[in-house]
Each structure stands twice: as C-alpha cells, then as structure tokens.
C-alpha cells in the first residue's frame, strides 16, 4: 500500500473520529421550572407590603431562552430552553412568594417597598463523568429595595443559589434542579428582606 493512500485513509478516519467526538446538535429540550405551589415553602413572615418593579435581564445572553445544554444521545447534545423566559419565571416566582406571604401589593400606592430585580445568571450546566452525569442549576440576581413612595434606595442584595443532581442520565432532572435553585434563592431573599422590616 503506497504512503499517500495510507495518509488519505488516516486523515479520513481522523476526520470521522473528530466528528463523532464533537457530536451532533439535537432537538431543543424545553423546560418550565415555574413553581406551581408556594404553600409551606417559607417559614419566616413579612409585615410590610411589596410591589414588584422591573425585572431586567442582565445575563451574558440577555433576552435568550437558552439556559444551557444537555446530552440527549451518545454523541448528541441538545440546547436547554426555558419557557417562559427566565425573567418571566423570576417575576412570577417573586409574585408567588409575596402573594403566599400575604404582602403583595398590586399598586405602588398600596406598597411600603418596591423591589427591582436584575437577573445576572440563570444557567443549567451538565457535566459528564466516567459512569454518570451531573446537572447543576445556578440562579443569581441583584435585588434593589426602594421605598415605594419616594423611590429612595433602602438596601440591595445579591442572591445566588445552586442545586445539583447526579444520575446516569440527568436530562429528566433539569426542571427539578432549576426549580430547587429558585426556591432556595427565594428563601435567601426572604431572609434578607426580614432584616429591613
């Protein structure tokens, strides 16, 4: 066998091997981590009334519904899409928490404080291990608390939470870890809000 033929065979095999390792892009996996039931999630109480102001997307990929990727086949990776959008999930989550605590004001005139939110991170990351995978959700946002009447800044907090799960196939746990991270973030926020009552 001549050397140029051997070289061509080697290059062809190397190309197909690299393509197999790189993998294909699969159909998107859509997740909805919206919390359906807030009952019993919070042990602390708030006294003052809160109105929700702006929820601004300040992530690196602001405005996108893509929050990560997950392996859906041996060499297939699919984008993870969050629907509704992450900002909508955060808005609904905050409203759900305040409503459950009985302190959500629908109008600014009925509130003691206004809460503005900047979404900084909202990602779901999957890591492959030797015999399993780990999926981790991260939620991070800045909360600015202002007096509703004057708009004066009272305090601000950066809230970050994570949740992870290991399994042979972690794709089915994408919703669960994201939801857990959101609940933990809300509990952390509540702990911070209690200090300014």
164-188: pLDDT as tens digits = 999 999 999 999 999 999 999 999 9
Q: Answer whether residue 120 shows pLDDT above 70.
A: yes
What the block records as the tokens of 96 is 């759900």
Q: Judge if the upstream peptide bond of residue 26 is cis by omega within 30 degrees of 0.
A: no
DSSP run (H or E) holding 174: helix 174-194
Band of the pLDDT at 1, cuts 50, 70, 90? Answer: low
pLDDT value at residue 2: 58
Q: Give the predicted TM-score (pTM) of the model.
A: 0.85
DSSP state, residue 107? S
Output the furthest CA–CA distance in the chain (Å, rounded). Answer: 86
Among candidates 116, 118, 123, which has minimal Cα distance to 61? 123
For the chain, how are helix, strand and coil distributed in percent, rounded to 5? 30, 40, 30
What does the mean pLDDT of the chain come to? 89
Task: Give all domains of the chain, ordered by start, each with its CATH number.
Answer: 27-194 (3.40.50.10610)
pLDDT value at residue 4: 55
Chain-centroid distance, C-alpha 152: 29
In the numeric block, the tokens 């928490």 are attached to 97
Among candidates 122, 105, 125, which has minimal Cα distance to 171? 125
Which residues make Cβ contacts (< 8 Å) with residue 192, sequence separation at least 6? 143, 155, 157, 159
pLDDT value at residue 3: 56
């Amino acid at each position: 066998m001549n050397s140029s033929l051997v070289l061509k065979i080697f290059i062809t095999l190397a190309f197909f091997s690299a393509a197999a390792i790189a993998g294909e892009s699969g159909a998107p996996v859509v997740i909805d981590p919206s919390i359906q039931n807030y009952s019993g999630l919070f042990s602390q109480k708030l006294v003052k009334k809160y109105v929700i102001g702006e929820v601004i997307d300040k992530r690196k990929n602001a405005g996108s519904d893509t929050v990560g990727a997950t392996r859906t086949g041996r060499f297939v990776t699919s984008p993870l899409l969050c629907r509704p959008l992450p900002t909508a999930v955060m808005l609904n989550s905050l409203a759900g928490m305040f409503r459950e605590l009985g302190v959500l004001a629908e109008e600014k005139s009925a509130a003691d404080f206004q809460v503005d939110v900047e979404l900084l991170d909202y990602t779901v990351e999957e890591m492959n291990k030797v015999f399993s995978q780990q999926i981790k959700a991260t939620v991070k946002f800045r909360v600015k608390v202002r007096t509703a009447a004057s708009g004066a800044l009272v305090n601000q907090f950066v809230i970050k939470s994570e949740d992870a799960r290991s399994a042979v196939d972690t794709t089915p746990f994408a919703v669960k870890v994201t939801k857990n991270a959101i609940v933990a973030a809300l509990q952390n926020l509540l702990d911070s809000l209690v200090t300014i009552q």
